[in-house]
Amino acid sequence: MANQAQNRVKTGQNPANLPTERVKFYADAPDGTKNKLLVYKVHDLGHSIDLLNRFDSKGWNIRAAWHLFDNGNNVRLRVWKL
């Protein structure tokens, strides 16, 4: 059993379907902290957007955000208030 787990790690497989992508963003906190960098592991681009919406609804002012794919590419996410 232990050898199978080690082989999965060596081959780069993700057996538990853990998040491998990340969302990275700068935001002003509701307590007055300015330009705080936050990074969270996410499953996909939709998960990143949901997470940003959750922070926005809690009073955070998101300044800039990026979705970092597991292949090294990243996409800047446009953030605006309606």
Longest dimension (CA), the chain: 53
Residue 7 predicted with pLDDT over 70: no
Residue 32 predicted with pLDDT over 70: yes
Residue 26 predicted with pLDDT over 90: yes
Beta bridge partners of 40: 23
Mean pLDDT across 25-43: 97
Q: Is residue 30 part of a domain?
A: yes
Q: Is residue 8 part of a domain?
A: no
Q: Is residue 73 part of a domain?
A: yes
Q: Is residue 9 part of a domain?
A: no
Helix (H, G, I), strand (E, B) or coil at 16: coil
Domain that holds residue 47: 19-77
Q: Is residue 12 part of a domain?
A: no
Q: Is 67 exposed, middle or buried (0-12, 13-18, 19+ CB in 10 A)?
A: buried
User: Quick one: pLDDT at residue 38?
Assistant: 98
Residue 1: pLDDT band with limits 50, 70, 90: very low
Neighbours of 26 (CB within 10 A): 16
Q: Is residue 82 part of a domain?
A: no
Q: pTM of the entire structure?
A: 0.76
Number of domains in the chain: 1
Mean pLDDT across 58-71: 96
